Structure 1
Amino acid sequence: MWKAAKTSTLVLLAACLSWAPAVHSFYSYDNDFIPPQYFLSKNWSNTTLEAQQTILAWAEETAAKGPWSVMNKTITPPSGTKHDYMSWAPYWWPDCSKAGNTTELTPEQSTPTLRVFHSTTDILSHLARFSHSIRLYACISGIVWVTCAYVPRDGQFNPDVRTLINDIGNFGDMSDAILYNSISWAINGDSKYPTRIANWIDTWFLNNDTMMNPNLNYAQMNRGPTGQVGTHTGILDLKSMAKIAVGILILREGKAPEWTTEVDNGFDAWIKAYIPWLTSAKIALEEMNSANNHGSFYFNQLASLQILSGDKDGAKQTIQKFFTGIYENQIAANGDQPFESERTHPYHYRAYNLQAMLTNARLGAYVGFNAWNVTTKQGGTIKSALDFAMTKAAGSEPASEIYMIVQAIAASYGDPGNTYANWLLQNAGPDYVKDACFLWNQPLSDNGLVNVTSLTSSASAAGAAATGKNQKANDASAVQRYGVLVYTLCVAAGLFVLRGL
């Protein structure tokens, strides 16, 4: 009898799993821009229910990492203040062959650690003898940073760029948190989301003790004996301003009480101090003229900031400049992206630039410029670039890098034969409907994967009426909460019975 009871209880617990929230593991999209009214209207299909659950979960997961500040780094920029943003060029490695070593170091040896470098000079050997009592990592690394020349190794990420300085990672985490917390507020109206966002913006941009100065003078610095200066590639570090723009516009246009006039005005002032730097600094202009993904993401960033500052005309001019400028040479007649295909990780870089081009097109649509069918000099379009990329094997690179883009292209260009939806089902699997971006990349077929039978008959009968569609969104949110409650109670009951057995 005991075994039968235990078996029955385990069956109950297994049944409970059917009520478990369907949540995709967190994934940071390279960039995106979605009109705020898309979320505020709540005019969503019931098939986006699982994507909404994912967004609510990601809002909590990303929020747990904050707040963020440039003051958190342990290394001070050459300016002498941590208020200046700072990062190191990720694909540059020390070559100490002319600084006391006899040979150029391998990539593994080039990581600045005590084991590698305490034979480089007499002083390092002296310091090494006292390694049992003093902390040498930063000291020895610092000597390497200013003594050894740094050389590029494309595609080989130097791990020490995130060891002591992570302004770039912190900014990326914050942009994701702002995006998903703002969308979550649009989904269920919980005041905790805009409260968090206001705090994060204040901490990173406004508070005198923790704010970032409005420049990227020390972004992706090249280290070495010639000095510590930022490079144009560092402008890429703030590409996800587009995500922040989406979040702030949702709160502004949705009139979230927690997004106060004081914070909004303060952020607007910071942006208006940063845009002149972004449009005049030497390294910023070099990035603007970059022929590959770096240039594409520059226009993402500038147009997003112009929209946030209320300059839609300026944003439109910025997007037009992209599509009549560097874009013209980015896509070949067959859809290949030659500047990305020549890199050491072509699958990744094709997807990377595709996301940048897609974001520019979405920004353009928001300010009144239709870029979807703009062709390059060789006749390529964003769609043909994706179609080409879909034919290439990922190899050792994550195949998932292209999935979000396939969804976006299907939603933007249409997918009447379900070609893209079927490709997603075959390559990404049935979980593609749980992707956060499935909520905003609509219309897109769910291939019958989302079970909406639990929705109320009133929502199902609402049909095409706008009010009915809003009711569907509200009912979907209620179903999410109901499912979580049933799942929790069900599991608790099963565990209680097992404990009694």
Structure 2
Amino acid sequence: MIRSTLIFITLLFVSLTPPRKEVINVLRRQVLAEAELAMKQQPITVTAAISPRSAGGKHDFYSEGDYWWPNPAHPDSPYVQRDGLSNPANFIAHRLAMIRFSRIIGALASAYKITGDERYVKVALKHLHAWFIDPATLMHPSLQYAQAIKGRFTGRGIGIIDTIQLMEVVQGVSAMKDAKIFDKALLAGVRKWFADYLAWLTSHPYGKDEMNAKNNHGTCWVMQVACFAKLTNNDTLLQFCRDRYKQVLLPNQMAADGSFPLELARTKPYGYSLFNLDAMVTICQLLPDLWEFELPDGRCIKKGIQFMYPYVANKNGWPHKKDVMYWEEWPVAHPFLLFGAEQYKQADWFNTWKRLEHRPETGEVIRNLPVRNPLIWL
């Protein structure tokens, strides 16, 4: 009887865990279709578009703050803020190019993981060389001119959030780097680029400002640094990220019920709550020992997922204000559902992830979804 009970419990435990094969089955058709499209794309880097308002050069990433608009009373004066409302006239060409790059590498690396076909790696190498190695097209490893505001700032620390798009590039490199055709000199060059970027992120005033941000920006700084530090084997920064999560992010951002009050106070509380939870969970996926970390009062990442899950399964139950923009476009197949289901053996979370949109096309959703190719994170 005891033996039978143990076997039953073991089988139940396994059945609650989303097998990697099942994740592949959900994504296979989409991944291979995206990869075939990616195979036909030529590299487009930051040098392909230049804004006359940028204070940087052709190799410097430049973007403008989303929620800043001309003052209708004084069109030539500094821009004014309209929180939550994106100005479509602002320069975002570099951000779009980086998102495109991220999607290409993510798709190619995912297809390689499924098939083992090195033709996907061969194409990825061309894009990696253009962005990080080729002196004619590379991007400088800094973000000094990101999220500028006309008449106010040539760049801001808040702009560092734009490079969350590079995380799936890094994960793609990690997924493909052991392929026979992966150029080892190129791998060394990519690692050096990210080591240089990490040095900038941790020393420049903009990087320090972003690290100390109290909301999702501070979370995304840790998420990026952890991701890039894994590629560069920087154990010191990895430990710093662990400590930052335990001592700053979780205690200062999560309420007793698992919500994020600083995100709920925004004009897009639903979208920002999803975004910050995705980022927190992705940090745990990068640093797995954090999955079981719990503050003395019981706050932990599992509680964050438990708070948000009912409003993903049924958005109509959301008890807070609707977002001023993009309310209808959320939720999608959020990584916190998949990663959390795998970690905590929650079949409901996995089944909800399965039925949601896996390939959103709304720009605002894409840029605020840090993990779009989960196979390269598993």
**Coarse TM-score class (shorter-chain normalised):** 0.7 to 0.9
CA gap of 1:438–1:238, structure 2 versus 1, over 3 A, is: closer
Please tell me the residue identity of whatever aligns with 2:291: W
Q: Take 2:40 and 2:266, find their aligned partners in 1: how far apart are those partners?
A: 35
| Equivalent residue, structure 1, for 2:105 | 178
CA-based RMSD: 2.6
User: Contact 1:62/1:177 (CA < 8 Å) preserved in 2?
Assistant: yes
Q: Which has the higher contact order (CA 8 A, sep 6+)?
A: 1
Counterparts of 1:274 and 1:243 in 2: how far apart (Å)? 16
Is this contact kept in 2: 1:174–1:200, CA < 8 A?
A: yes
Where do 5+ consecutive residues of structure 2 fail to align? 1-18, 317-321, 359-370
What pairs with 1:137-216 in structure 2 (closer than 5 Å)? Answer: 147-162=76-91, 165-216=92-143
CA distance in 2, matches of 1:408, 1:350: 17
Partner of 1:374: 293
CA contact (8 A) 1:300 1:359 kept: yes
Instruction: Tell me whether 1:55 sits opposite 2:1 in the alignment.
Output: no
Q: Is residue 72 from structure 1 mapped to residue 48 from structure 2 by the alignment?
A: yes
Q: Is the 8 A contact 2:68 2:82 kept in 1?
A: yes
Structure 2 residue corresponding to 1:232, chosen from 157, 161, 168: 157
- Structure 1, unaligned stretches of length 5 or more? 1-42, 100-143, 443-501
**Pairwise CA distance, 1:77:** 5.8
The answer on whether the counterparts of 1:84 and 1:216 sit within 8 Å (CA) in structure 2 is: yes
Distance in 2, Cα, partners of 1:275 & 1:44: 32
- 2:348 pairs with one of 407, 416, 419: 419
Superposition TM-score, scaled by structure 2 size: 0.81
SS in 2 for 1:239: helix
Q: Distance in 1 between matches of 2:218 and 2:293?
A: 17
- Answering whether residue 343 of structure 2 is matched by residue 409 of structure 1, we say no
Q: 1:235-250 maps to which residues of 2 (within 5 A)? A: 235-250=160-175
**Any idea what the Cα deviations from partners look like across 1:211-250, whole Å, max 9, x if unmatched?**
11111110000111x4x41011100000133212211111
Q: Is contact 1:351-1:401 (8 Å) kept? A: no
**2: CA distance between counterparts of 1:73 and 1:157?**
21
**8 Å CA contact 1:404, 1:437 repeated in 2:** no
Residues 177 and 250 of structure 1: CA distance in aligned 2, closer, same or farther (over 3 Å): same
- Structure 1 equivalent of residue 190 of structure 2: 267
Q: State the Cα distance separating 1:50 from its structure 2 match.
A: 3.8
Give how far 1:45 is off: 2.6
The alpha-carbon deviation at position 295 of structure 1 amounts to 0.7
Identify if the C-alpha distance between structure 1 residues 172 and 378 changes in structure 2 by more than 3 Å, giving closer, same or farther. Answer: farther
Shift of residue 317 of structure 1?
A: 2.5
Paired residues of 1:241 and 1:304 also in contact (CA < 8 A):
no
1:332/1:376 contact within 8 Å kept: no
**Residue 220 of structure 1 aligns to a residue in which SS?**
strand
Q: Map residues 29-48 of structure 1 onto 2, 5 A cutoff.
A: 44-45=20-21, 48=24
Cα drift, residue 273 of structure 1 = 2.0
Q: Where do residues 315-334 of structure 1 align in structure 2 (5 Å cutoff)?
A: 315-334=238-257
What residue in structure 2 maps to residue 400 of structure 1?
A: 331
Seen in structure 2, the aligned counterparts of structure 1 residues 201 and 298 have a Cα distance that, compared at 3 Å, is: same
SS in 1 for 2:259: coil
Equivalent-residue separation in structure 2 for 1:302 and 1:441 (angstroms): 16
Residue 159 of structure 1 aligns to a residue whose secondary structure is: coil
1:87-110: CA deviations, max 9, x gaps? 00001111142x3xxxxxxxxxxx
Report how far residue 48 of structure 1 moved: 3.2
* Match of residue 281 from structure 1: 204
1:308 aligned onto 2:231: yes
Counterparts of 1:349-498 in structure 2 under 5 Å?
349-365=272-288, 370-376=289-295, 379-392=298-311, 393=315, 396-401=327-332, 403-415=334-346, 418-421=347-350, 423=352, 428=355
Give SS of 1:391's match. helix
